[in-house]
């Protein structure tokens, strides 16, 4: 059952200029996206940098004010601070930031960093609070002597876990994880990913998992949204996206992943060139004359593609075959 619903969300940032420093134009960072979040599921959000992923995440947790559209939590609007407070929404929806270090106050000890959300939302005695923090550290696999250290004393992977500990402190329903492993080495990345999966099972969490690494998204996500220019170009299950990509942007993204496969690199290169060519030839089918992405249309129960005429898909398919 879906507990969070986003309808036609738009976040536009004004660009100021001119003689009176008036609004000249807008950055259409997020320009009309809709989706639903079910319990215990992981949703991937992929796209190149600047496509609007972080902005969607921030709008969901209430850090960015939507220009238009609605965010519904159990059917109730949560676009105002007052409404979020009434529903305890801020407790239930947390975010893990890409750049953890800058999201952790360098002058605070880990103990206070993790306690902060608890103190904001719950009244606990000192002992209860300490017990909770120790449990959290244990969950994220950090020793208890971390309590009195400062953020800079930890490695990237450890900081990421602190970010996770803080995010799960209030036992939320949904965590927006913004590129949580992008800056980490492979083995540390594996650790964090395993861990996110484990606590998902334990707490029946949902994730919105933001990344530009398609391998990681494939590993983590049940359902995937591909973003480009502030809109979704394609949405579908893991199988829909990886085995049957339809939008040229998705195809291009997938073709660009360097697979750990040294034997077939020549084939991969040829495929890449072909897709690149298709991308420039078929642009008008997938983007309108202003370069805007069309609305999503269903091509199966789970699979959606942003295209003007569904009939064109067949044409595209045939032309590459």
Partner 1 sequence: MENEKILEIKDLHTGFRFEDKYFDAVDGVSFSLYKNELLAIVGESGCGKSTIANSIVGLHDKNHTRVSGEIIYDDENVVNYSEEQFNKIRGKDIGFIFQDPLASLNPLHRVGEQIKEALIYHTDLTKEQRHERMLYLLGRVGIVNPERTARQFPHELSGGMRQRVLIAMALSCKPNIVIADEPTTALDVTIQAQILDLLSELQNEIHAGIILITHDLGVVAQMADRVAVMYAGQFVEVAEAKELFRNPLHPYTRSLLHSIPQSDAVGAELNVIQGMVPSLKNLSRDGCRFAPRIPWIPDSEHEKNPILHQISRDHFVRCTCWENFHFENEGGC
Partner 2 sequence: MWKTVLRRVLLMIPQLFILSIIVFALGQAMPGDPFTGLITPQTKPEAIEALREKAGLNNPIPVQYKDWMVRILRDGNFGQSYTYKMPVSTLVGNRVANTLWLSLLTVILIYLIAIPLGINAGRYQDSAFDKGVVIYNFISYAIPSFILGLIFLLVFGYKLHWFPTGGSVDLGFKKGTFDYAMNKLYHMILPAITGAVLGTTGTIQYLRNEVIDAKTQDYVKTARSKGVPTDKVYSHHIFRNSFLPIAAFLGFTITGLLSGSVFIETIFSYPGMGELFISSINSRDYAVMNTLVLLYGFLTLLGSLLSDIIMTIVDPRIRIE
121 binds, among partner 1, partner 2, ligand ADP, none (CB under 5 to 8 A by kind): none
Q: Is 187 in the site for ligand ADP (CB under 6 A)?
A: no
Residues of span 18-47 touching ligand ADP by CB under 6 A: 27, 29, 47
Residue pair 200/207 in contact (Cβ under 8 Å)? The answer is: yes
Residue 82 half-sphere exposure toward CB, CA atoms < 13 A:
0
* Residue 167 contact among Mg ion, partner 1, partner 2, none, beta carbon within 5 to 8 Å by kind: none
Q: How far is the CB of 90 from partner 1 (least distance, A)?
A: 30
DSSP 48: -
Name the one range near partner 2 by CB under 8 A: 15-23, 140-148, 186-194, 285-293.
15-23
How far apart are CB 3 and partner 1 at their closest, in Å? 23
21 lines the binding site for partner 2 (CB under 8 A): yes
Q: Which 8-state DSSP code applies to residue 172?
A: -
- Interface residue with partner 1, options 106, 123, 186, 318 (CB under 8 A): 186
**245 alpha carbon, distance to own chain's centre:** 20
300: Cα separation from own chain's centroid: 24
By CB under 6 A, tell whether 228 contacts ligand ADP.
Answer: no
Q: Provide the pairing of β-strand 231-237 with 304-306.
A: antiparallel
Interface segment toward ligand ADP; rule CB under 6 A; list 52-60, 274-282, 285-293, 295-303: 52-60
Cα end-to-end span (Å), the chain:
39
Residue closer to partner 2 by CB (options 25, 259) is 25
- Inter-CA distances, 49 with 4, 167, 184, 230, Å: 25, 24, 18, 11
Residue 150 · residue 113 · CB < 8 Å: no
Beta bridge partners of 237: 223
Residues in 1-60 that interact with Mg ion by CB under 5 A: 54
Interface with ligand ADP (CB under 6 A) = 13, 27, 29, 47, 49-55
Interface with partner 2 (CB under 8 A) = 17, 19-21
């Amino acid at each position: 059952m879906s507990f969070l619903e986003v309808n036609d969300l738009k976040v536009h940032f004004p660009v100021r200029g001119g003689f009176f420093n008036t609004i000249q134009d807008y950055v259409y960072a997020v320009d009309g996206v809709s989706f639903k979040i079910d319990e215990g599921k992981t949703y991937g959000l992929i796209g190149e940098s600047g496509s609007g992923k972080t902005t969607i995440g921030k709008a969901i947790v209430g850090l960015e004010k939507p220009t238009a559209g609605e965010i519904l939590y159990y059917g109730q609007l949560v676009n105002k601070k007052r409404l979020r407070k009434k529903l305890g929404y801020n407790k239930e929806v947390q975010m893990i930031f890409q750049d953890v270090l800058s999201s952790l106050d360098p002058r605070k000890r880990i103990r206070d960093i993790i306690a902060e959300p608890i103190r904001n939302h719950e009244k606990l005695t000192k002992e209860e609070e300490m017990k909770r923090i120790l449990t959290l550290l244990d969950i994220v696999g950090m020793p208890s002597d971390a309590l009195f250290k400062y953020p800079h004393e930890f490695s990237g992977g450890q900081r990421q876990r602190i970010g996770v500990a803080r995010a799960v402190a209030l036992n939320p329903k949904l965590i927006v994880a913004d590129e949580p492993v992008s800056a980490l080495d492979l083995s540390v990345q594996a650790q964090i990913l395993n861990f996110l999966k484990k606590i998902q099972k334990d707490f029946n969490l949902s994730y919105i998992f933001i990344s530009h690494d398609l391998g990681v998204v494939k590993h983590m996500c049940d359902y995937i949204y591909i973003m480009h220019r502030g809109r979704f170009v394609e949405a579908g299950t893991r199988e829909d996206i990886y085995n049957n990509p339809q939008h040229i942007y998705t195809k291009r993204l997938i073709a660009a992943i360097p697979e750990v496969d040294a034997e077939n690199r020549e084939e991969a290169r040829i495929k890449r060139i072909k897709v690149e060519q298709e991308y420039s030839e078929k642009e008008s089918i997938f983007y309108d004359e202003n370069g805007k992405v069309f609305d999503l249309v269903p091509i199966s129960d789970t699979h959606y593609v942003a295209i003007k005429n569904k009939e064109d898909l067949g044409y595209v398919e045939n032309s590459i075959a």
